[in-house]
Amino acid sequence: MMYRKIFTYLRVKYLLCFLLLTTGHLVLAQVPATIVSGRVNDQAGLPLPGVSVLLKGSSNGILTNNEGVYSIKAADAKGILVFSFVGFKKQEVAIDGRKTIDITLAEDKSDLNEVVVVAYGQQKKESMVSSITAINPKELKGPTSNLTTMLAGRLSGVVAYQRSGEPGADNAQFFIRGITTFGSGKVDPLILIDGMESTSNALARLQPDDIAGFSILKDAAASSLYGARGANGVVLVTTKSGISGKTKFNVRFENSVSSNTQNFQLADNITYMNLANEAVLTRNPLGVLPYSQTKIDRTAAGVNPYLYPSNNWIDMLIKDYTMNQRFNMNMTGGGAVAQYYIAGTYNQDNGVLKSEKRNNFDNNVKLKSYEVRSNVNVKLTPTTEGIVRTSGSFDDYNGPVSRVGTSGLAGSSVFASAISSNPVSFPAIFPASAADKVAHPLFGNASLTGQGPGYSNPYAQMVSGFQQYNTSTLNVQLELKQDFKFVTPGLSARLMAYTQRYSYFDLSRAYNPFYYSASPTSADGKSYNISLLNEATATEYLNYREGNKLQNTTTYMEAAVNYSKTIKEKHAITGLLVTILRNYLNANAGDLQSSLPFRNQGLSGRFTYAYDNRYILEANFGYNGSERFAANHRYGFFPSLGVAWNVANEKFMEPLKSVVSKLKFRATYGLVGNDQIGASGDRFFYLSNVNLNDVNLGSHFGTNYSYTKNGVSISRYSNENITWEKAQTTNIGMDLGLFSSMNIVVDVYRQHRSNILMNRAYIPNTMGLSAGIQANVGEAEGQGVDVSMDYNKSFGKMWLQGRGTFTYATSKFLVNEEPNYASNLTYLSRVGNPLQQVYGLIAERLFVDDEEVKNSPYQNFGEVKGGDIKYRDVNGDGQITSLDVVPLGLPTTPEIVYGFGLSAGYGSFDVSGFFQGSARSSFWIDPVKITPFAFNGGQQNGLLEVIANDHWSEDNRNVKAFWPRLDQNVSSNNTQTSNWWMRNGSFLRLKTVEIGYNFREKTMKRFGIGSLRLYANGSNLFVKSSFKLWDPEQGSNGLGYPVQKVFNFGLNVQF
């Protein structure tokens, strides 16, 4: 199964082979020959395409076709055939007069020839010095159409988590070796797909089927070639290239059932009303009760669901499950001159929102994404190759309209509205029979003022319209490779240019719902009539709202010279020099400075020297600049150096070879930069930014105040000295192979980040500045360990594979721009604490009663009574203020991410399972969002079951209750950031499980199919965590769209 790991290498390998082929045929054509043919299989019995079959001692060679079948002309029957394929042990077989020779190639576990995608090229794994995690793209397959959700736990050195499951907004956030900067700029890695700088959305849409190589560059030696852009690590992805031969099709179809891993639980509505009354009385004994006993009783008795409604918004807004489909097809083939790889993908992800049958439009989330890819390699001359890669990615989204004032996609706001809506004041919708002669749906509402609807009806909001957005990303890339071996062997050059065009627009269409309120027409509350609340504003027709239109374009050029030579068989040297130009333009920039092009220019190089495959030295550099800095600070030099000792290749290790198949020590040190610092509007730090027509600072004069001029505002003060952030990284690693079946890679690193852009803290407000003064003053340190292990073993028809990764990444402030704290306030300093450390008050418990409040330090955050949170006076000044905050809990990004899994196969069956976990993080419940009964612009919060069951009340003065004394308003005392709302973010989940069956070719041939795989898999099936209110991976975003649990069935056909 290992052979799929090394697709990257194939391209190069095939080039060489074709070269052999074309020349070989010419020479051998005249000689009479026997033809030997046969099939090459792997140990699992699957055909191996692309295996090189060479007649030893000649240049006569060929590759196996898609069915693993080869046919070669041999000069006589006594020759020896050499079968070789990357990742497999080379086999030499004497023809011995046979016409048919079937071969089973054994996998080569030593990975000696495995190649890895590295900056501006590829390297043999054996000769690598830097710290790079490469993954077999197959490992990234799962029942999802979002690749980023598969990264956590599978790639050592990657910290990843997924906060939302909403189609179109379900990207996992991922960071290479955690986050080591606290600037407001870019903290996530540079993503390069076929050398094209891409967004995480583009990565999310990539199909594992189309990926040839996937690498994560972790240390300075690996990423310093990217100079001022590589400090946060680099993700390198290459897509597949064509393989010559008869066209080979690969079709995959999946259908899955997706449901929420967990919904938050609301209390029943009788409890809701009783506690809403309690919330008023407990604060103000004379307060007006929101719900009368009659209403409560009649609601409980179910007298009339329209007059005494009781809505469970979760049930009314959210479906139990949804169905999604994924389809991917790729074709590869070609001849000696040109090879192609063509792929198309169609994925449809549906949301779990309900729809209103009376509408002929659908408000449920539906994300259709399309991908097209065509990679064509053309042999222009025997030494020149041209490659054209074009790809397009298109998202068509349909979903509910966003509520005004909410951020993110509307699906999340539907979930949020399930808790921010009053469940008992109005029904979601009245039956059509309630009103005569109206065609529109009769949505429920109630008035607060006697006029107009006063509440937000989440059901009406959700079904009253639909929003669409469409994105298109088009990439066209041209690459020319010239081998200058006719000038000097080992010299080659490469030119690459691409352009990337992105466009986005959204729009929404919605009607203004007709809201009705019900009033009883009989004393017993059994009959009612309804009256229209918003006659003036409701519409039966759809209104149109234009949305954003975003466009940007990138153009890029890269030229490289490569040289490699081995002198006297022991001294291997390679050199690479590459120069790049990049230009990015944003169409809807917003202001002049942002509209100017974003540019980068650079020169980078890599030089390696290896002595006898034992001692390896590598030096890299990046020299590049970006347009955002003053002329004298534009260019920076980013060098790195690495050494490696391949102990396994030493003579003295020979006796141990059967035990220690691989042993290498590596050490690197170097500098990388990050030029994407500061806020997105901060383009040119050396220029001040002023708005000479700021309408907010205008004045009005004259009789009717009508003589007006706009004012002047300053949003940035110039600073010529601002430049990029720097990261100095030391990495020490070890690669260990045991018994030819187990590989262990351990990397330990320490990174020192300096020049982090910060606002100066010593500027007092008396300076009167309207913008902060920024400078490169911050420093931080990151350190950690990445471990990956894999185990592969075959026992006859059975094979076993185990994998595990462990990533520990921690960070701390070294220099933070902060005031010089007095000796009794040093705990306020962030220095020495992790970058994602939250500071908050120490909540001791709830106050027992008002008397205790009076006798305790004064809490400066608003009204306090018994049952409210009591904070600790850390600095002992008799008051609780913002000076009493201390570091709380663990960082908000997990420090540990790990994963482990086991796959096994027997004959045609295989089964695998993968667990993924996250540890050492804290998250905060947002108490404002769950404060029951709090009213805000028509939204009135619901009551979580946990609050109903466990809150401080006058009868039950539990000073450790989950929720403090009820309040119909958001209590600013209780909603301060404190450990009261802190929770442990650790979890372990069964991330994926798969069971598959492979139909053998023999069986399938009847149907004209090469091979067929049927499989069933699932993801996020089970999670273990101490936190029970919602899926722990969502963290603070628990009221949003939940992470999805998926059951999937798929088939994969090759022919």
Partner 1 sequence: MKTFNKYLILSVAALMVLFSACKKSFLDVVPDNVATIDNAFSNRNEAEKFLFTLYANLPQEGHPETNPAMNTGDEFWIYWPISGEDFWSLDPYNIARGLQNKVSPKMNYWDSFDGKSMWQGIRNCNILLENIDKPADLEPYVKSRWVAEAKFLKAYFHWYLFRMYGPIPIIDKNLPITANIEEVKVSRQPVDSVVNYITRLLDEAAGDGNTGLPDKITSLATELGRVTRPAALAIKARVLATAASPLFNGNTDYANFKNPDGTLLFNSTFDQNKWVKATAAAKAAIEAAEAAGTTLYHFVPGALAVSDDIKTEMNIRNAVCEKWNSELIWGSTSYGNPTGPLQLYACPQLQPSYINLSLKGQLAPTMKMAELFYTKNGVPITEDKTWDYANRFNLRSTTAADKALQANYQTVGLHFDREPRFYADMAFDGSKWFMQDGNHDIQAKSEQYAGKKQSRLYSVTGYYTKKLVNWNLVETQTSINVESYPWPVMRLGDLYMLYAEASNETGDPATALSYANKIRERAGLKSIESSWTSFSTDPGKYTTKAGLREILHQERLIEMAFEGSRFWDLKRWKTAAQTLNQPIYGWDIIRPSYADYNRKVLLFTQSFVSPRDYFWPISENNFLANPKLVQNLGW
- 632-651 positions binding partner 1, by CB under 8 A: 634-635
Say which residues have a Cβ less than 8 Å from residue 122's Cβ, sequence separation at least 6: 8, 9, 12, 115, 116, 213
| By CB under 8 A, residue 766 contacts partner 1 | yes
Candidates 693, 949, 1003, 1026: give the one binding partner 1 (CB under 8 A). 693
Phi, psi at 102, each rounded to 5° = -95, 140
Strands 515-520 and 442-444: parallel
Least gap, CB of 801 to partner 1 (angstroms): 44
CB burial of residue 956 (10 Å; 0-12, 13-18, 19+): exposed
Collapse the DSSP code of 463 into the 3-class scheme (helix H, G, I; strand E, B; otherwise coil) and give the result: helix
CA–CA separation, 228 vs 676, rounded Å? 9
Stretch binding partner 1 (CB under 8 A), from 74-82, 350-358, 522-530, 686-694: 686-694
**Rounded least distance, CB 454 to partner 1, Å:** 10
DSSP 8-state code for residue 240? -
Whole-number minimum distance, CB 152 to partner 1, in Å?
Answer: 38
Name which of 603 and 961 has its Cβ closer to partner 1. 603
Binding to partner 1, residues 563-622 (CB under 8 A): 563, 575, 577-579, 581, 592-593, 596-597, 599, 601, 603
Residue nearer to partner 1 on the CB measure, 404 or 692: 692
How many residues bind partner 1, per CB under 8 A? 94
Handedness of CA 297, 299, 301, 304 (dihedral sign): positive
Give dist(CA 1052, CA 1055) in Å, integer: 10
Residue 542 near partner 1 by CB under 8 A = no
Residue among 520 and 711 whose Cβ is closer to partner 1 = 711
- Min dist. Cβ of residue 385 to partner 1 (A): 17
Amino acid at 462: M
Q: Examine residue 300 and tell whether it contacts partner 1 (CB under 8 A).
A: no
Sequence-distant (6+) residues with CB within 8 A of 781 are: 180, 750, 751, 752, 753, 811, 812, 814
* From candidates 437, 631, 652, 823, binder to partner 1 by CB under 8 A: 631
Q: Which two tokens stand for residue 969?
A: 């308003």
Q: Where are the alpha helices (DSSP H) in 7-48?
A: 7-28
Question: Residues 586, 969, 977, 984: which binds partner 1 (CB under 8 A)?
Answer: 969
CA–CA separation, 101 and 82 (whole Å):
12
Q: Min. distance of Cβ 272 from partner 1 in angstroms? A: 19
Q: Rounded to whole angstroms, what are the CA distances from 760 to 752, 764, 768? A: 21, 10, 14
Other Cβ atoms less than 10 A from the Cβ of 981: the count is: 20
Between residues 82 and 577, which has the closer beta carbon with respect to partner 1? 577
Minimum distance from CB of 601 to partner 1 (Å)? 5
Q: How far from 531 is each of 429, 436, 535, CA to CA, in Å? A: 13, 12, 10
| Shortest distance, position 768 Cβ to partner 1, whole Å | 3
Sign of torsion over alpha carbons 136, 139, 145, 148: negative
Q: Is 764 in the site for partner 1 (CB under 8 A)?
A: yes
DSSP letter assigned to residue 267: P
Alpha-carbon distances of 134 from 5, 116, 238, 709, rounded to whole Å: 9, 6, 12, 60
Place of tokens 């990742």: 87
Place of tokens 């619901």: 942
Stretch that binds partner 1, among 123-131, 624-632, 741-749, 1027-1035 (CB under 8 A): 624-632
User: Which is nearer to partner 1, 439 or 631 (by Cβ)?
Assistant: 631
Contact with partner 1 (CB under 8 A) among 627, 844, 852, 926: 627
928 sits near partner 1 (criterion: CB under 8 A): no
* CA dist 343 → 68, 203, 248, 340, 656 (Å): 22, 16, 12, 10, 46
Nearer to partner 1, 405 or 796 (CB): 405
Binding mask 435-454 for partner 1 (x = CB under 8 A): -------------xxxx---
* Binding of partner 1 by 821 (CB under 8 A): yes
**In the complex, least distance from residue 717 CB atom to partner 1, rounded to whole angstroms:** 5
Give the shortest CB-12-to-partner 1 separation in angstroms. Answer: 20
C-alpha 645/C-alpha 660 separation (Å) is 15
Residue 404 is a binding residue for partner 1 (CB under 8 A): no
| Residue recorded with tokens 């612009």 | 937
Least distance from C-beta 501 to partner 1, angstroms?
20
Angle at 893 between CA 887 and CA 896, to 5 degrees: 105
> In the complex, what is the shortest distance from the CB of residue 630 to partner 1, in angstroms, rounded to a whole number?
10
Considering only residues 30, 381, 407, 703, which one is a binding residue for partner 1 as defined by CB under 8 A? 703
Q: Rule CB under 8 A: which of 550-569 touch partner 1?
A: 559-561, 563
Among 522, 822, 832, 1005, binds partner 1 (CB under 8 A): 822
Q: Considering only residues 645-684, where is the footprint of partner 1 by CB under 8 A?
A: 684
Q: Is 699 in the site for partner 1 (CB under 8 A)?
A: yes
Beta carbon nearer to partner 1, 255 or 710:
710
d(CA 963, CA 844): 14
Residues 337, 361, 937, 1003: which binds partner 1 (CB under 8 A)? Answer: 937
Give residues 768-797 in contact with partner 1 (rule: CB under 8 A). 768-770, 773
Q: Which of 100, 360, 433, 696 binds partner 1 (CB under 8 A)?
A: 696
Smallest separation (angstroms) from partner 1 to the CB of 873: 13
- Give dist(CA 865, CA 881) in Å, integer: 17
Distance CA 181, CA 813 (A): 9
Selected from 257, 761, 800, 902, the binder of partner 1 by CB under 8 A is 761
Check residue 697 for interaction with partner 1 (CB under 8 A).
yes
Of 413 and 626, CB closest to partner 1: 626
**Interface of this chain with partner 1, residues 860 to 889, rule: CB under 8 A:** 860-863, 879, 881-883
Q: Is 842 in the site for partner 1 (CB under 8 A)?
A: no
Residue 765 lies near partner 1 (rule: CB under 8 A): yes
If one asks whether residue 823 binds partner 1 (CB under 8 A), the answer comes out as no
- Write each residue from 1026 to 1045 as x if it is in contact with partner 1 (CB under 8 A), else as -, in one continuous string: --------------------
In this chain, which of 23, 588, 680, 708 binds partner 1, going by CB under 8 A? 708
- State residue 928 phi and psi, 5-degree precision: -65, -40
> If binding is defined by CB under 8 A, does position 711 make contact with partner 1?
yes
User: Which residues are 805's β-sheet partners?
Assistant: 788, 899
384 binds partner 1 (CB under 8 A): no
773 with 740: CB under 8 angstroms? no
CA atoms within 13 A on the CB side of 723: 17
Name which of 463 and 560 has its Cβ closer to partner 1. 560
Q: Would you count residue 701 as binding partner 1 (CB under 8 A)?
A: yes
How far is residue 29's CA from residue 47's CA, in Å, rounded to a whole number? 29
Q: Which two structure tokens, joined as six digits, stand for 383?
A: 């030494």
Report the residue number, 447 or 472, with the smaller CB distance to partner 1: 447
Give me the least distance between CB of 278 and partner 1, in Å please: 17
> The dihedral of CA 286, 290, 295, 297: what is its sign?
negative
Angle between helices 293-301 and 269-281 (to 10 degrees): 170
Residue 31 has which token pair?
């000689």
Q: Shortest gap between Cβ of 425 and partner 1 (angstroms)?
A: 13
Residue 866 region, left (φ>0) first, then alpha (ψ -120 to 50), else beta?
beta
Question: Which residue of 30, 381, 407, 488 would you call a contact of partner 1, by CB under 8 A?
Answer: 488
Are 1043 and 165 contacting, i.e. CB atoms less than 8 angstroms apart?
Answer: yes
Q: How far is the CB of 489 from partner 1 (least distance, A)?
A: 8
Applying CB under 8 A, does 286 fall inside the site for partner 1? Answer: no
